[in-house]
Amino acid sequence: LLNNNRIKQIVRRSFEDLENLKYLYLYKNEIQSIQQRAFNGLRSLEQLYLHFNSLESLEPETFSDLPKLERLFLHNNKISRIHPGTFSQLESLKRLRLDSNALLCDCDLMWLAELLKKYAEQGNIQTAATCEAPRELHGRSIVTLTTQEFNCERPRITSEPHDVDVLLGNTVYFTCRAEGNPKPAIIWLHNNNKIDMKDDNRLNLLQDGTLMIQNTKESDKGVYQCMAKNIAGEVKTQEVVLRYFGTPSKPTFVIQPQNTEVLIGESVTLECGVSGHPHPRISWTLGTGSPLPQDSRFAITSSGGLFIQNVTFSDQGQYNCNASNTEGSIQATARIIVQDSPRFLLIPTDQTVTEGQSVDFLCSAEGHPPPVIAWTRAGGPLPNDRRHSILSTGTLRVMRVALHDQGQYECHAISAIGVRTLPVQLSVTPRVIPVFLHPPQDVVAETGQDVAITCAAQGDPRPTITWVKEGIQITESGKFHISQDGTLSIQDLGVADQGRYECIARNPFGFTSSAMQLTITATDVGRSGDTFVATSIREAISSVDHAINSTRTELFSKRPKTPNDLLALFRYPRDPYTLETARAGEIFERTLQLIQEHVQQGLIVDMNVTGYRYNDLVSPHYLNMIANLSGCSAHRRTPNCSDICFHKKYRTHDGSCNNLQHPMWGASLTAFQRLLKPAYQNGFNLPRGFSLAEDARDLPLPLPRLVSTAMVGTETITPDDQFTHMLMQWGQFLDHDMDQTVAAISMSRFSDGAPCSEVCSNDPPCFSITVPANDPRVRNGRCMFFVRSSPVCGSGMTSLLMNSVYAREQINHLTSYIDASNVYGSTEQESRELRDLSSQNGLLKQGQVVPSSGKHLLPFAVGPPTECMRDENESPVPCFLAGDHRANEQLGLTAMHTLWFREHNRIAMELSALNPHWDGDLLYHEARKIVGAQMQHITYAQWLPKVLGEAGMKMLGEYKGYNPNINAGILNAFATAAFRFGHTLINPILYRLNETFQPIRQGHVPLHKAFFSPFRITQEGGIDPLLRGLFGVPGKMRVPSELLNMELTEKLFSMAHSVSLDLAAINIQRGRDHGIPPYNDFRVFCNLSSAQEFEDLRNEIKNLEIREKLRSLYGTTKNIDLFPALMVEDLVPGTRVGPTLMCLLTTQFRRLRDGDRFWYENPGVFTPAQLTQIRQTSLARVICDNSDHIQQLQKDVFQVSSYPQGMVSCEEIPMVDLRLWQDCCEDCRTRGQFRALSQRFRSKRSPGFSYPEENPAK
């Protein structure tokens, strides 16, 4: 602020170094002059106030270096004259004030009037400027003055030049005089080109306008013309010729023909003037050299020009002017460019749309030159609101139309030739939020009946109706059907169907909902299956135990021979509690199946056709007897959460007591959660596509193997230009912390004990993957091995123990929380097997030492031959033991397990040194707590942002604290389909790199040779080469047409002489096994449109070829399986996921975070100082601390970097400072005894802290 001073002058470059200055106030000073470039360097200046000073004139370059200047105030000065161009460089100008000055509005100021008028027409710059003189214009705004009022006079010629004949070397004078106001400038042209006197000192322009040429040369010959020009206009004299006397000379051009543009249908002349002695003869030819067409439209003028009338497009091209005499010949070429005024090709039509929708007005035109399309609204510019945009095709798109957008729009086709305009009308109808015509009413019904609940709504556009039962969306299945008009039909009512149902009517403008209560009354009559209970349960126990025993003998008494054996071994539950739980569920389900078969044999009708009434099968008191005898009742866990001192600080290993109101939420060996009601063929437990006797209305489902070969398997791999293969590896490691489905514990049929791998049948628990007849790879087998996941006791058929049929649910073997259960195990027993209880150091058991680093590998698992020793010649090394028994599945995963087991022991040792008084249990739990927090931080701060991008992280939302009402359990659709997106990130090769990031001597490993191969770690260089291969190599890019590499679809667990498995087909089959509803239902859940036709998928799946493949495979959008559809959706820009997958992942990861009482950011879990340290964690630091010798890597191992430029030393990577965990106390000797904190927290049970609602067995 320099206003109100006595500044008199501003000199050059006064403000040179103030490049960030935005406002400069110099008003109310005594400034009389401003030197040129006084404001140089003020590149950011937005406001310059110079009013109320004594300025009389402005230099031309005063405001030349102010690109961002928006306001220039010069009013109340004494300015009378302003040089043309003073304001021409102010590209950001919005306000200019020149009023209250001494402006002389004569012809010299006319340029300013034209500039201000141009500003006014554009409408974006406000100006003010008034005349002081002459007297008759005093006080008038300059913008209102006409050309005549400026008293300008166009030039007029008073003396013309004449032709001249001259001898070489003489002097020539061409006279030219003109008058006008202001006095016109004289310009001379030679052969149509302006003469620049500076180029040749022989040429001079005399005071009166005469052109003097001294010492004339050959090149001076030709045509001369004088032009007089001022601001009011310009005028030219006639053309005159300078010729030479005498000696013969070759032809030279006086006027050369010029390229000329002409409108179609008009006439054109190509001038051609030559001189020479004797006078040359002129002829014209086409550019190709051929003669002109014999056409009366072509003629040669007396001066030698080519005249063409009524020009057509065929006349466009090159023409040659040829001149010759006895001394020689010359040629000049010119081009005729035929132009056409714009013509509309696509004419926009009037449109009517509903408020909130988007609309396109098509408009395109052709012409020569091609016209540009512009749009206006009611004659003015389009609103500048980002909703209105003009596409490259010329289409006007209006997004999210509002009522005030209604009105006329104009499409203009603009070219140098002219403008054509078409008006079009947009009408907007107000949107109508759905309203109910018939809201649902409460219903009372008996078990075994069918019921239809009506719900009709109207709105514009027509609303979609969905039904929700107690927070879970209902999907189409054998149990539920939602008709077109919104009526919900429920088949074969059971007590489980009782509850609150909500009908939701939704269209793009909003939704409305209405609830009803369905009450079920049980009829207490004997059931047809009661007489068969005793025999059936004996038979069930016998057949299930026989099948389990033959499976165990088969799996554990010999080495695995086939991929089927490998998969079975790999998925087989190891701990006795899981085995007993699964056995109970299988016996219960088998008992009911046998009862059903016995009842069926006594019936004449075929129940498969009529649909069987499950709730009529057995009386409730017999069900309880089956529950007790099968072992189901014994396996209803009710955790003891009474040791509150322990539960306040640490997690249990099985995840129980995390939520103190619902102690089993998120615990291991509990059912997966559902977002939508499951979709089973019979409504209860049969997978979709289980048998071909489906409802005749529906198209049969395609074989999973066919879907895999048609659209999932790929040999083409596109490397990811942003992210490394570690992105995939962290995803798999994380997945093994959150979920593992418990497979059936029998690989043999219950009915006759035949192994599922040998029979291609669907007898429980087998559910083989059928191989299509013309399969590209499998020639020697009709099916691939697959067994169903174990049912939870009390779901599927087994749920009758709740006196009703519940749809079948599957068991999550792991805790769902991100709690490093893949390091520590998911049950107390697993955790004890992993701990080193021989010392008080809180360590995990350690395996053999790596001699070069002194660090330990994982310990080996003990027991019968395992999947890692399938071929002793190749692999004599047993499997490693870790918190998740899949640790050996592939080498990259084994390397991650090794890192984190070492990280636990490293932290425990450091804590022990800091707190020598702590006992082994306290050290173990504190180290475990830190490791879990590190995994959470890496996942949410470093991994998820790359997968979900900015859009997904916004959808996930900020952490707002623990919410005990959120169940953090894993969603069935997440485990079975959504999180399996990681399979599309897997490279077909595991790279192994040395210290300089070159391949190691033993080379890289094809993926199919990396399965169950721990010997490659013990014998081929340890974990370092594998880790470098993960963070030093780009991952596989997710491309909708390149999904799973062939190593996974054609060589999974490959072994000689046997059929390899197909991961994609397994994923699809598993989705059907688990009753995962089709893709379309999840689109509705995620607020995307319901796809009625395949074309409705075009926004999410833009590739027409992929949509056509889906159409040929599935026939109807209602059938599309979730997994393949999620995989082929186009990626949301900046992410690695499509829209539906983003919705499912954010839903799950939000629940995992907000429903975890031990979430690392939840206040009280760590002190603020400790939390600051946890946030220093990075996967790069964990690798530095726990690899054998890695010292060079990028700070973010998920980000692609090159060696050595993108790498840093480990010393530069922040570490967690564990001194913040040091006890500062006087009574440390007793304080650190874990037993003092927790009186052996597992030893006692307190009934007061067991939750009855979690104990259905009562």
- Would you name the residues annotated as active-site residues? 736
Bridge partners (DSSP) of residue 71 are: 47, 95
3-class DSSP state of 485 = coil
* Ordered alpha helix ranges (H), 29-181: 110-122
Helix axes 576-601, 620-630, angle to 10 degrees: 140
Kindly report the CA angle at 750 between 748 and 755, in degrees rounded to 5?
Answer: 20
Tokens describing residue 206: 């005399």
- What does the alpha-carbon distance between residue 832 and residue 822 come to, in Å, rounded to a whole number? 14
Which residues, other chains included, contact 822 with Cβ-Cβ below 8 Å and sequence gap of 6+?
Answer: 733, 736, 737, 814, 882, 883, 884, 887, 897, 900
Is the distance from CB of 788 to CB of 744 less than 8 angstroms?
yes
Which residues, other chains included, contact 51 with Cβ-Cβ below 8 Å and sequence gap of 6+?
Answer: 27, 28, 73, 74, 75, 76, 77, 97
Cis geometry, peptide bond prior to residue 765 (ω within 30 degrees of 0): yes
Is the distance from CB of 691 to CB of 762 less than 8 angstroms?
yes
Question: Would you give the distance in Å from CA 472 to the centre of its chain?
Answer: 28
Give the CA-trace dihedral at 248, 250, 254, 257, to 10 degrees.
150
Strands (E) located in 1039-1174 = 1044-1045
Residue holding tokens 């699964």?
582
Helix axes 726-738, 1024-1031, angle to 10 degrees: 110
Is the distance from CB of 304 to CB of 275 less than 8 angstroms?
no
* Ordered alpha helix ranges (H), 739-864: 821-824, 828-834
- What does the alpha-carbon distance between residue 1184 and residue 1103 come to, in Å, rounded to a whole number? 43
Which residues, other chains included, contact 144 with Cβ-Cβ below 8 Å and sequence gap of 6+?
Answer: none
Which amino acid, one-letter code, is at 616?
A: D
Question: What is each CA distance from 988 to 718, 719, 984, 1028, in whole angstroms?
Answer: 11, 11, 11, 16
3-class DSSP state of 166 = strand
Determine if residue 621 is labeled as part of a ligand binding site: no
Residue holding tokens 């109320």?
52
Which residues, other chains included, contact 1093 with Cβ-Cβ below 8 Å and sequence gap of 6+?
Answer: 1117
Tokens describing residue 725: 């293969």
- Which helix (H) or strand (E) segment is 1173 a member of? helix 1168-1174
Residues across the chain: 1258
Tokens describing residue 257: 């023909």
Question: What is each CA distance from 843 to 909, 923, 1241, in whole angstroms?
Answer: 8, 8, 20
Q: Tell me whether residue 1252 is exposed, middle or buried, using C-beta atoms within 10 angstroms of its C-beta: 0 to 12, 13 to 18, 19 or more.
A: exposed
Give binding residues for heme b as ranges: 983
Give binding residues as ranges: 983
